[in-house]
Structure 1
Amino acid sequence: MGTIDGTAQNQPLKNYTQNNGLPSLHINKSIQDHTGYLWLASKNGLIRFDGDEFNTYTTKNGLISNNITTVATRENTLFIGTDKGLSIKDYRGYTNFEGNHINAILTTKNHTFLGTNKGIFRVREEYLSPLRTNFQIDLNRINDIAFDGNFYWVATNKALWKIDELINPKVLKRIDTDNYTSVLIHQKNIIATTYNNGIQVVSNDKVTPLTTSIKKITGIKKIDNQFWILSEDEGIEILDAGFNFVRNINKYNTLATNKITDAFQDNEKNTWITTKNNGIYFIQNKKSEQKKPTISFENIEVVFSSIDSIDINNYPKTLQLPSNKNHISFYYKTININRLNKVTYRYKLNNQTSPWSTKNVVDFAYLAPGNYTFSAQSKVGNMESAPIEFNFFIDTPIYKKSWFIWSVIGFISLIVALIIWSYVRRIQAKNKAKVAKLKLENHLLSLEQKALQLQMNPHFIFNVLNGIKALGNSGKSSELNATISKFATLLRGVLQNSRQEEISLAEEITTLENYIELEQQINSRTFEYAIHTKLPVDPEEVLIPPMLIQPFVENSIKHGISSTTNGKITIDFFVKNDFLYCSVIDNGIGIEQSKKRTKVSSHTSVALKVTQERIQNLSKNCTFSIHELYEGNKVTGTKVLFKIPFKTDF
């Protein structure tokens, strides 16, 4: 720790630079947290100082940026302002919010506000919310924000403002125009600094200017009942309580630089001065009375892993631990800059108390099951801190619990009973399986027989023959020959396919095309049809039971589009999740209207039922559905959709 000759407040001045381990010479701001750590906002990250050792936190640790512009604290949470937004450090780690360059942070009981290069922002749970107050505030640089208990005072690079509420303000008053750099609440007055026009004292909204000997003022601090005026290029000017000149602290009498960024007094009345190019200066208060120290938990580890999911210093419950998590370590700390090496600690676990020592870590291994209360205390001189406590519970191993022992006995008994029952069930299941297999085979044979008998509608055959007869009587020999040829092809295909359990999808489509085209010729109303395939293989390689689709197509022709002009039937085949899907869609009158207009023939009804049973018996995963299609409240047709296992011949 280096020293500089000279005096400030008649006390020695110590300078911390890179030679003492300070990671950066450019320090923007300094604060002290509840434990007593000093936090320094630097150009090279966030620096923590305990009076002896510097620790640096950067983007590698989770910060949003290494250029730290300001820092504030509330309880055990740090709000870290940077040139790229805000980082919040708490027991859960870091939470980052991208945003503008942050110049000031104001923490209140319910909110945290940020003064940025473009207006004021409020910290929400998941984002930074811009506050709309006045365009002269929202679009300008906010240098400082202060709250006097009733009003917020906002210093911008253009003016000083008085606002009743930052969220939905009702009172918004511009007190003065100038480049205001900082605000200090002093008794009933507001003391604000301007960059080049000295100090402005505001009382009852009236401004009284006070001229200073220095320019480029960036801030004002109240230290030992004196006002310290900070300049970014001319050092520090100290005024007494009546704003009379006391002395200057600058490179000509005390410091090695005039580029001052901040000054504050810690809880032991020591004074810290931060600079832009020469680190920090420390003025120790030799006359400070010994104060009661404060102790805080720094970390709690369970089996060498930190507890990151709870606030260890404000955890009101009892931490529940399983039986195998019975190794726990506690880390606690008291910071006392003036008596760094005189801090001692003791701990208590339930009724066992340790002697005082300098050790601030304790490790408990192989703790027995039960409830525990751990407490720790620190002592500086004769002053003891209030103890801090943490409660935890270690569960009993499951194998020692009575319910587990009785459960094991019951489980073993159940296993024996299940083995006997399973043996009997297996014998019964074998017999049932044989009976079910025979019934299923008989049922399938019966369904196939019914399907063969119902594959072609006798009415359809009769209508085709009448059509052929009419063509013969009319002398249309070419159409007659074509119709007879198509009808013969259809009958031959039906007879050939009826002898097989499975045919190719291409054969099924050919049979459907012949059937539909014959229906087009004999039907009194014209209609169109389309057959689409979207398959990963050629339809010739796909296997399907014969005459599976024809009953649905026939139902669409006879009852769906029979009363429709420009009727259309669309048949789609596609594969999804190892299943072949088939849909038959018509633009007819719909199921319900068809039922009202005509009574479905017994052939059609039985054919549809048998075909549905055939589909469902192919596999337990097969599905079948039929429903009406709508556009708005209007029925536009009927859709039949079913899926069967996707099978190929390779």
Structure 2
Amino acid sequence: MFRFLVTFLVVLYYIPIVSQEPVAIHLSEKDGLPDKEFYNIIEDKQGFIWLCADKGLFRYDGKTFKNYTNKEKKGHSVFNLLEDNEGRIWCNNISGQFFYVEEGKLNTFIDLSLVLKGELTFFKVEKEHLIVFSQSVIYYINKNTKLIEKEHAFNTAISQPISIKKEMFIASIDSISVFNNKYDLKEKFSIKGKNESKLVEGRTKVFKIDSLLFINQVRGKINTFFKINFLEKKATKLENLKGVEKEQIYDVLNKDDQIWFSTTNGVWVYNWVNNKFKEERQFLKGKNVTKTITDKDGNFWFITLNNGVYVVPNIYIEKYAISEASKGISVLDKIDDHTLYFGSNNGNVGLYNIHTNTETTIVMPNKSRVSAIKYNPRKELSYIGKDINGYVLDHKTGLLKDVFKVSSVKNFLILENNDVHIVDHKNTYLLKEGNFKKLKYIYTNKRPYTSFYHKKDKSIYIAYVDGLVKNDSLRSSKTITYNNKPIYGLSITDTKDGILWVATFKDGIFGLKNDTVTHHFTTKNGLVSNRIEKIKADHNNLWIATDAGIQLLDTKTNIFKTLTKRDGIISYDISGIEIMKDKVVFSSSEGLFSVDKQNAFKEQKAVEVYFTEVEINEKETKLAANYKLGYNQNAIKFSFNVNGLKFNKKGKYKYRLLGFNKNWITTAIGETSVKYNSLPAGDYTFQVQPVLTETQIKNKIAALNFSIKNPFWKTWWFISGAVVFVFVSIILYYRRKIRKEEQQRLVEVKQLSLDKELIALKLENLRSQMNPHFIFNALNSIQEYIILNQKKLASEYLGKFANLIRTYLNHSIKGNITLQEEIDCLEMYLELEKLRFEEKLNYTIVSYGNLHPSDINIPTMLIQPYVENALKHGLLHRKINRVLKVNFHINDKTNVVKCIIIDNGVGREKAEKFKARSYKKHKPFATKATEDRLALLNYGKEKQVGVIITDLFEDNNPVGTQVTISIPFTTL
């Protein structure tokens, strides 16, 4: 191609590259792949992928793998997949069992273990027969009776059958047998060629291209190929299959007049050209590939014995195997239609021949990034701009001709007179005739992004940081705008029709004619993103690299075609685009890859969605076209799917629920279910439609109908009954209300009467508490203090007496007082009584509990009468050592305070005797008033005041009395 000299400035070396590879998706355990060892693969009519693996039979719908097995199956492994005319999937195993899948279950058809004795066989499924091809015998098994109807034996091992038109061809070591559609042997002829005495190893393989038949045999450990001539009844040995001659061939695929051999060393592709095979390419080198198929979307599937499954979504997108050091490509140009010229981030420059797949690397003097590169074919020079300095490389001598002090060049333009226009990070230069001694400044201190020479009007367009500027041959400048706003360009090109195209970093693409915007493309009219990395014209087509995909725009029809990473694009970080003869090459941070212009864009086909599951109230339900549901069966989840890897990687769904809403809603990619909660009663139709954004094809809509019944309380009979019930209830309610109001009135009348009685009892209680004897004794004490001239004591006693009378009067007007107030009142009363008893009375008042006496309320005038009784009837008759204890136990859990009054008086029996002597037969006034008041206080109450009087004895002798009063309280 070119001769390069090694100089002190440039180090050049060649790197041989074996081949370019299509971009493959490797399915493994992280993708849910259930195994890594696979033996067979097919795609059925519905688009499901079926896999025979070491661990069993699996079905793949593009998302998940489903295992099929049954109790009769011996071992896990299955082999030899096929689909019959009824859509059932068949397979067999090494134990001689044959299976088929029907209605989601694996069924055992027949067990021929006694006949086959551990031999793994091929088979065919016809309308009435299962035909089994063992090593040397064909068995015809009736599908109804499951009996072997007939056999056909051979002297040597036979091949897997192949059908051409209505005939079946079977090859043995030395002959070919032809059977008609009734399984009768039509003819047989020898294929043993001259000097082919070497022993044939294994079974013969048969394959075809159109109506041409070929066989493959292993002779002397070498794969030998023959073409069958039916007219002359002979086999012609073929050459030119060196790539696979020593590899084990597992399977042969005929695809578009090409033969794909799945081998122990990857997949080899051969073209049948001029009556011979020509090696085209090799995929998955070093991988043990057992079979290759293509699916309905054009994806290639490769299964392996130890590396899982590989899927190539687009065989026409290829990644070039450049060296690891050259992968970070920063700029791209081309020398001719088969040689690419690129600069990298590591500072070196390289050439890549896409025909020979060889790379040449030129190591540059400094390691700064290559920022721009341009080849001038008229002078066979190239201009190399780096972050530090620029260089001119003479391709005839391989020498760096010039070094110039211009750094971070953005672009070189080769003008028609061999002048070179240069823009760097802030300046614009003109290099007259490419001579750096004639370097001339044009503009300074204005940062550009790129530049473009428009040959039609001999103008230079420069995309600056603040907008797009046109410089014509008269050195005049013109700023180009759109709607009075700047155009911020990043990449510029022109199509054959003279339209200038400017890509922007956020506003899509502008098309300019006569400096006026005539086209504007954004995401609203076809672009997958408004952020454009690079554009390149190819006649009147425009190749567009965005941050979301690569697109091809036909500028005449305005139709876009799109490729994404799911189609095999290795990177969106595109640094350059070059148009080759039949390919477009893209450079990126991941290296170089190409797109076949004619074949890379697959024909879009309609896809079919189906329902996979319906859940009602979170329970899986059998699939049906229509559902009738109860009112409480109103939480419904629909799951759906489109078979195939492509759609599940890039497709979306539109859905709506007629009867609930009419607007379509679009799911996210990969979302395959919709759930509705608490739907009201009514009739509904759920519709779902698959959508691929880059195609205009309208896919069929799948639909399910269901209805939710009204709850019983919304039925006419229930509503009528409810109206009658409500009417009757209203009548009964008001009757009851009137009766209740009458009862309430009677209660209020009675309550008024009770309140009057309670007031009277309070007055009686007050009178009882203000005992005349106590008052006379108190006054006598005061008189005695005065006579004895003890004025201070008389005054103090009179004050305490007055306080006690005042307290009683205050309490008499209250319904409740605090316990502390009751205790204080008792203290005052007992202090005066102690004086009356001439200090021969000892008393204590103590309270216990978590609540303080000041925090609780009790009824007024309740305790003092019992204390007075203890003094009057018990302690009064005792002459010495009089003791009175008053204890309060506060229970904050039951809200009850117990008042325990204990005296060591003579006891109730003796007190009664003393009372009899005084001829007082009537019941004491204070006691009766207290009992009547208790009865009133307890009236209608759940918690009542209780009084228990207990006589205390010691050795059967009375030693006092205990009164226990249980008083419900309320807290403040």
Could you tell me the TM-score, scaled by structure 2's length?
Answer: 0.34
Q: Which one has the largest radius of gyration?
A: 2
Could you tell me the TM-score, scaled by structure 1's length?
Answer: 0.49
Q: Higher helix fraction: Structure 1 or Structure 2? A: 1
